[in-house]
Structure 1
Amino acid sequence: MAEAEITQGAIEAIFCDRERAAVQFPVPVLQCLHIKFLENKNPGVPGPERYRIVLSDIRNYVQCMLATQANRVVHDGLLQKGSIVRVKQYQAQSVKGKSILIILDLDVMTHLGTPDKIGDPKLMEAAPSEQQQNTTIGGAGFYGGAKSEPAAVHETKPQVQRQVASRTGGGGGSGGHAASTIYPIEAISPYANKWTIKVRVTSKSDIRTWHKTHSEGKLFSVNLLDESGEIRATAFNQEVDQFYDLLQEGSVYYISTPCKVQLAKKQFSNLANDYELMLESGTVIERADDQSSVPQVRFNFCTIQELQGVEKDATVDVIGVLKEVNELEQITSKTTQKPYDKRELTLVDDTGYSVRVTIWGKTAREFDASPESVIACKGTRVSDFGGRSLSLLSSGTMAIDPDIPEAHKLKGWYEAQGRNNTFATHSNLSSVGAATGRKDDAKWIAQIKNENLGVDKTDYFTVKGTIVHMRQENFAYPACPSESCNKKVTDMGDGTWRCEKCNITHDRPQYRYIMSVCISDHTGNVWISCFDEQARLIMGKTADEMMELREQDQAAFEAAFDAANCRKMSFRCRAKMETFAEQPRVRISVWNAAPLDYKSEAHRLAELIKEMSV
């Protein structure tokens, strides 16, 4: 029955005869042969969750990438090896002679799934005619690398290729341009030469100026959103005059090449996209007649409790009920001596935690929300000042009482019970038990395993143990020494190290720990992962110092590890299910580490004995 539903020949038509594919196979039905989670290659730098799948039409199979909005079929457990799927929206590409599908939307036909591969499909190779087109046209290379032909985006209603008719430049660009396929933001890369995106402006910065010894200028930036993702666009100097009044926050536009695509400067952006746009004088921008077909905003909320497991300087979205509003203050920057307006807010949520959020400039001056409003912040930077606090980035946005399910849920909780609750802060982790309803979140190692912590959800806990072993191989990696950049740098072979994120070459890297440590207590042992701050506390040396020892004095290097062994410490941990080499496993990461305070431990045990005796 499943075999009869599969649209045989659809994959070949999609790549070799797209007009026939649009008519004969508007919604191809295919079998999923393989699913693989793609690890983030930049640890410490937040990025979108990616899955690669292989789809077959019995005659051919093809490598596919799930767009992030399609990840729901994996999260919900619907897509499995052998599943039969209806591909409702996709983009076909040829990269380095390989045929690739980007899956934007699909349905899983759960009643037709089979664990066995149907037929003996062959790998779909890029057609010779397509490869020639790739050379002459140069389209969107989703994976980066070779250029590829501009690909069609297919929809359910209607099941045809969407195109934008020729039009003149709405933002001062002269003349019309050829009809262009609507690209999803996720497919935009430096290898895409001709494209049009349909996007909503979700935020727009003020015009900012700079003055240097040999240059001066002005700029502004906008965050752009469509169904597949988000991307930042920046305009400089004369393009500021050309586009600033045209691009209005909340409106939907068509934006078409020429437009430069470059690596994103993460220090200026809170978006999970490796690329950003630079608007040029010839960039074609036109306000769309249909203003409702693009989403309003995209949040990826982190609960206030989960902030304790988020690295310093990471960017997160957060939502909470406004508990307190401080008066407007003005501070003077120590570096620029310029005054800045700021206001501090206190948000709480149903995890029992509160957090301080600082807002700046115009947002701080014009803030007029009343306490008990629901505040949703997109793009806040995590600080470890006072435990955990947040600062709204200049590229971030804030919504008051937004019409979204998370806001309605929080409003109901607060009115029902939250108004009378007391809340824990991240500067006082001992109050976690009161906030979560547990007497104590401390665990023995056996409990971590027996209670399957991290298997079904992310769990946070404290474990006290003795360090019994540390892996000396791959204990650190060469990182970019630029401020707020922890990306791994590449040895260029000429004595220099290059950071692709910052687009800068350095004389030497700054090594950072990423260490695996085995700890033990009376119930067992477990491996935990320590990042730079925690590993420095354990080793008593920086990773740079340890690398120097390894190169100059192997005996001293090994002695440093021996000295760190057998130390008894308290570790604040996060357990989370991750996938390595296609195998799921729980990873325990350390977010706080400290030597045991024997006095407080004795008091805690005395109180526990009293409770047990009662």
Structure 2
Amino acid sequence: KRISKMSKLSAGLLDLILEQRRQSDQQPIVQILGSKIMSNNHIRAIVFDGQTICQHCIFISSEIDQQYSDGKLQKFTIIRLKQYSLSSIPKKDNIPVILVQQIDILRNGNEINRRLKPNESIDTEIVTESNEPVGSDIRNETTDHQSDQPSNRKQNKNNNNNNIRPENITPINVLTPFFNAWTICGLCIHKSQIRCFASNQHAGRLFTFDLCDDSGEIHIVCFNDECDRFFNLIDEKQMYFIGRGMIKMANKRFTSINNDYEITLTKSSFVRPVCNDQNQDQIEIPKMRYKFVELSSIVDIPANTMIDVIGVIRLVYDMKTLLSKKTSRQMSKRDIIIIDKSMVQVRLTLWDYNAENFQGQPDQIIALKGVIVNDYRGKILSTRDTTHILIEPDLPEKDLLKLWYQSIVEQNDLSINFKCLSSDQSENRNDNFNKKRYIASITSIVVGEVLKFQTNATIIGFNSIKYHMYKSCASSTNQCLKKVLENEDGTYQCLKCNEKSINFQWRMIIQLFLADCSGSFYVTIFNNQIEQILKKSVSELATLIQTDENQYLKILNQIIFRQFSFNIYSRNDYYNGEMRLRNTVIQMNELKSKKHSSNLLQLIQTMIN
């Protein structure tokens, strides 16, 4: 309802605010004596409370900006400061600044056209939903605060620190190095592990975490003592109050957060879980912001660029252990293949903690924030410590991607050739397979030459399962895949690397018996193709072979009498003094009846013409 009454300016209350002696529920009535738009598009106003003039009152909300554009904040306008906080400008002798997020306009300046005198009453009105008096005289309240005993003021200050009021929270998007007195509240969307660092000047340890609210997001760094102090307190998907940190320009080499500034916590900083605060019910949980890029556009993105992507997990490879050439540090690595609606598949490499703790499975949706584009034999993606990984995220993009992928599954059309952006491993050997051949035409091949071709055939059998897996070299330096020999002392010897190790790596190799209308022959498939057609990882299949052969055979029998399109290269090799034809599958996709029939009709039409 609209309330009208006689009110006065809140004489003396600006002094209490600027000297940080005010209570949290005070809402001063002031008069605007002048205003201008600053270089950062915020509005700076000179305000007067009947006794004190503050020349640094800055409006930082879009709602107030609109009111200013509509001409409602002209000179001599009477306003109430409903939500505000105090900061300072370090480069200008720490001049105090009042940052205002919300106001009430009590009287337009055109109706006054002069500066009010001290203690002068004026008729004010405002539309409100409550029955509380609006525009009341705050002089008596101010007098009461000034007469408080020091012990009472100290007690009030402690109470304010224990319970942070929502109106005193500073939005993340307005933080700058000019802020000193601020408190932010946000959701922890990512937390790194503790890592050590060393430079010519100093060494130490650190961890980082990212915080977001409804206005934006920011990167926060904790060094040494603060690292030990806050690491166990911070958890992902929890809300925190944070204050008294040092704001500086963000180092974009170590963060993907969309903010020009970052926070470094110091000895005077505080971090408080929202769940321990009495006002937690008044604080809404914000959602993380993404700027997703289609996988097809990665080819045009420069290397070392941070992006956000979302896709469907197609394959998950086993974790490997490598030795860093630069630091000689042992590293964990895991590759996964993701696809999206742009019909592109990309190899994503997870490192260390992300590789060791990855729980994603094929056919699940994965969202990544702050993943790096690398250029190694084509474009690939790579995670870093600050990359945020979410499986089955609660996002509208996930729902759309899920519907698209389900439509492919329902049409049984997973054999679609997704474009590969990298040429590593099997992805670089799919060229020059355009020529189609029947099996019976693969007869004489000159020794040393390789014949590449494509054929459509039916799987009618496979070799004995006791030959389906072997122990291979687990070398982390040259990624050797050769078979190892088991020594009497329980170690494994690789003849190629000439290395002895207590570890080995399971690898799979299956001989498939194929047939078409012209004949039949055996082909060899390895890890990648086996994982693709059986929809299981090599480690899972190896476990089944050793523990439950019947279940393994049941999985294998699912591909019997199914037709596939095979990309094969064949060559003649000498083996134990005999010439043998070896046929190796590079890629295989299941044939779909409708699509295959259309291709045959097109072929017939071409022959007729």
Relative to the length of structure 2, the TM-score reads 0.47
> Which of the two has higher C-alpha Rg?
2
Relative to the length of structure 1, the TM-score reads 0.46
